[in-house]
């Protein structure tokens, strides 16, 4: 269904769309006038060590000030204490009845706290902020007194920023109004197409009954035209995801508000409109990706309800809302790929475009590495702002770790490792044999060569998985040629980039000897997750709530999933990985030709890369990696459906891989 056809449906069913839109506008106006303006005041407190610590007191004098050897730990203890139920009850007795938050000050690595109070009475909010600031110092003294610390060794609090004059928070007010308006417009949009479907179905029944006893009329044929299909929409999503830096988002939406994610949500509306009017039906044999997405959706909704029931902070509520938006984006990608693409040729076109765009992102990574800079720092787009407080280039050893247009070098390496198997498969595809070697093997060289430049264990492990999964399945001549090229590539890197191979070898050596500081920091956090898991073992705390500014970095998607979605979420995540592995194996087992068998092996390798890489960083927190992961999972299910139905792709020229305009392959007939 094209945009013009969608507009025609909305125009015909104006009696559904217009009233609901007006109702939403009136409800938004009522909220704007009735909801009071919230005011917010902040103060900052720094922790200062005692003067007696310098005298080398016995047993370090104060166990609280030396817990972990840093006052940052002391600040964390104080934050948890002030955020507890007992402290909230004591503050309520002191007159602090409005919501308050306590956390580490932004853009600081020292023991500095920010205290925030939000309410509707400006004078009361200022008074409550002063009370909370004084109470923080009293609570720290009470903690140290309970630990029988001598007063000379007390850690002191020093107000750095006094309670500020409360400022109005109009953002939350506008968000409520906008949410009501969006909900009404969405309801009107959906009901308009439902009404159109019912009316058209009734009209067809009448015409069929009338035509049963009447002579056949001459049907006027229309000139065929190619409509907008799922592949075109997903190509637009890929362009936005790859070429707009991941840190640039729409205001107020956080990390999930990237233009690519918003475009994916609009694509979901297109699919719903096309599906409701009977223009498209999911193809047989493509159900598995949508089934596992339903399991993930159930776990996310259960964690969202668990977060609402436990009395979470305002930041956690916002994080849970963003988690729901992220879930809708993932569902959009899976539905558009697995149910929206009805033609094998169009699915092949989508995967080729993904590989080509990924190779361009890899080429940008070369620029970052050899110029010791980051190109994303110089990209600004009007209307978008950075969701990251500060973007800096990361170094390891003597090398700058590139991240291209991604949010972090780990995401850059993980995404390339995810797409590398498909670049290799397309290079060997017989349909592309007539192309030059540069066009076939250029993406493989760009992606594979960029992986070591990230100076990351995640990238090297991903590359090794691709090699170990794909190379042993090749014929001996191709296998030994590939091994020789790999050995030659290592030698070229050793000559072209002196010290790179040694740095990577040292990384793995320190990892195996357990002497690497980053590895130790990650393993220490594993035990820190246990208390949060014990509080909510089944459903977790809510997707998107375990943020570093409130808790800490996990650097492990499985640990993060346990904290945010509990055991049910972990099972759903493992089901996604296993579904991808199963689809790749099934494609290879059922395929009739060598090209399809290699494609199945590529899906198998990509899913295995995602499975292993998720243990090295919080993979689904990064929009580009998450988008490519769900796209490959859905593409595997769609390819498996084509293989099971026995409809292999016909030979076609690569310069024009799309079907001719005289066929309407984008619109499938309803499947009985």
What is the DSSP code (8-state) at residue 48? Answer: E
Which CATH number covers residue 44?
A: 3.30.70
**pLDDT 10s digits, 617-643:** 888 888 899 999 999 999 999 999 998
Q: Which of 113, 138, 168 is the last residue of a domain?
A: 168
CB 289 within 8 A of CB 634: yes
pLDDT value of residue 215 = 56
In a domain, 311, yes or no: yes
Instruction: Look over the chain and give the mean of its residue pLDDT values, rounded to a whole number.
Output: 81
Pair 164, 296 in one domain: no
pLDDT at 69 over 50: no
On the CB side of 439, CA atoms within 13 Å amount to 11
Pair 609, 465 in one domain: yes
Query: Which of 117, 97, 92, 100 lies closest to 42, judged by CA?
Result: 117
List residues bridging with 113 in a β-sheet. Answer: 45, 104
Here the tokens at position 367 are 């620029």
pLDDT value of residue 671 = 41
In a domain, 12, yes or no: no
In a domain, 669, yes or no: no
Question: What is the number of structural domains in the chain?
Answer: 2
Q: Which of 144, 168, 192 is the last residue of a domain?
A: 168
115 three-state secondary structure: strand
In a domain, 514, yes or no: yes
* Cα separation, 417 vs 450, whole angstroms: 10
Percent pLDDT > 70 in the chain is 84
pLDDT value of residue 655 = 42
| Structural domain containing residue 67 | 40-168
In a domain, 663, yes or no: no
Pair 155, 291 in one domain: no
**pLDDT 10s digits, 353-391:** 999 999 999 999 888 888 888 887 777 787 777 766 555
Q: What length is written for the chain?
A: 672
In a domain, 214, yes or no: no
In a domain, 228, yes or no: no
Q: Which of 153, 168, 183 is the last residue of a domain?
A: 168
In a domain, 24, yes or no: no
pTM metric for this prediction: 0.72
> How would DSSP label each residue in 444-509?
HHHHHHHHHHT--HHHHHHHHHHHHHHGGGS-HHHHHHHHHHHHHHHHHHHHHSTTHHHHHHHHHH
Q: How far is CA 287 from CA 62, 276, 339, in A?
A: 61, 18, 8
Pair 288, 156 in one domain: no
Query: What is the mean predicted confidence (pLDDT) over 392-409?
Result: 78
């Amino acid at each position: 269904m094209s945009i013009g056809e969608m507009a025609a449906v909305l125009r015909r069913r104006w009696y559904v769309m217009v009233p609901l839109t007006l109702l939403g506008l009136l409800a938004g106006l009522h909220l704007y006038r009735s909801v009071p303006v919230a005011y917010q005041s902040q103060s900052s407190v720094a922790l200062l060590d005692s003067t007696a610590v310098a005298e080398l007191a016995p047993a370090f004098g104060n166990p609280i000030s030396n817990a972990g050897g840093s006052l940052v730990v002391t600040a964390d203890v104080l934050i948890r204490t002030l955020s507890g139920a007992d402290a909230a009850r004591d503050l309520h007795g002191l007159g602090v009845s409005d919501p308050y938050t306590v956390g580490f000050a932004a853009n600081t690595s020292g023991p500095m706290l920010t205290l925030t109070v939000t309410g509707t009475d400006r004078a009361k909010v200022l008074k409550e902020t002063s009370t909370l600031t004084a109470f923080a110092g009293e609570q720290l003294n009470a903690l140290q007194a309970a630990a029988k610390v001598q007063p000379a060794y007390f850690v002191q609090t020093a107000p750095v920023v006094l309670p500020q004059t409360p400022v109005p928070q109009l953002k939350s007010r506008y968000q409520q109004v906008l949410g009501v308006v969006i909900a009404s417009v969405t309801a009107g949009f959906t009901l308009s197409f439902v009404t159109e479907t019912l009316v058209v179905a009734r009209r067809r029944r009448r015409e069929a009954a009338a035509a049963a006893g009447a002579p056949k009329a001459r049907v006027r044929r229309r000139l065929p035209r190619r409509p907008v299909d799922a592949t075109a929409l997903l190509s637009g999503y890929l362009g936005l995801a790859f070429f707009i830096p991941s840190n640039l988002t729409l205001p107020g939406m956080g990390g999930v508000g990237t233009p690519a994610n918003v475009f994916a949500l609009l694509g979901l509306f297109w699919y719903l409109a096309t599906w409701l009017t009977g223009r498209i039906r999911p193809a047989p044999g493509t159900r598995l990706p949508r089934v596992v997405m339903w399991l993930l959706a159930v776990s996310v909704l259960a964690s969202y309800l668990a977060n609402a029931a436990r009395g979470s902070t305002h930041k956690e509520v916002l994080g849970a809302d963003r988690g729901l938006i992220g879930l809708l984006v993932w569902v959009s990608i899976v539905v558009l790929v697995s149910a929206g693409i009805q033609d094998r040729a169009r699915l092949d076109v989508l995967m080729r475009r993904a590989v080509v765009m990924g190779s361009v992102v890899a080429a940008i990574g070369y620029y970052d590495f050899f110029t010791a800079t980051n190109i994303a720092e110089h990209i600004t787009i009007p209307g978008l702002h950075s969701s990251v407080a500060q973007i800096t280039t990361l170094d390891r050893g003597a090398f700058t770790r590139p991240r291209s247009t991604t949010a972090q070098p780990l995401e850059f390496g993980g995404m390339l490792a995810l797409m590398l198997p498909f670049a290799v498969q397309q290079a060997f595809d017989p349909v592309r044999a007539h192309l030059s070697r540069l066009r076939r093997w250029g993406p493989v060289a760009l992606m594979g060569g960029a992986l070591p430049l990230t100076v990351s264990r995640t990238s090297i492990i991903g590359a090794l998985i691709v090699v170990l999964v794909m190379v042993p399945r090749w014929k001996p001549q191709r296998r030994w040629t590939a091994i020789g090229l790999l050995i030659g590539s290592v030698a070229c890197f050793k000559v072209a980039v002196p010290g790179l191979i040694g740095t990577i070898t040292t990384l793995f050596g320190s990892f195996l000897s357990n002497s690497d500081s980053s590895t130790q920091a990650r393993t220490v956090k594993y035990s820190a997750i246990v208390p949060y898991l014990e509080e909510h073992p089944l459903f977790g705390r809510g997707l998107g709530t375990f943020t570093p500014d409130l808790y800490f970095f996990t650097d492990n998607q499985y640990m993060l999933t346990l904290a945010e979605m509990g055991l049910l979420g972990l099972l759903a995540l493992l089901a996604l990985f296993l579904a991808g592995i199963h689809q790749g194996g099934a494609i290879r087992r059922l395929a009739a030709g060598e090209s399809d068998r290699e494609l199945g092996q590529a899906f198998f390798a990509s899913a295995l890369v995602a499975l292993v890489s998720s243990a090295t960083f919080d993979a689904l927190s990064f929009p580009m990696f998450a988008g490519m992961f769900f796209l490959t999972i859905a593409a595997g299910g769609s390819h498996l459906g084509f293989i099971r139905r026995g409809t292999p792709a016909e030979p076609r020229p690569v310069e024009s891989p799309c079907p001719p305009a005289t066929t309407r392959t984008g619109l499938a007939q309803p499947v009985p």
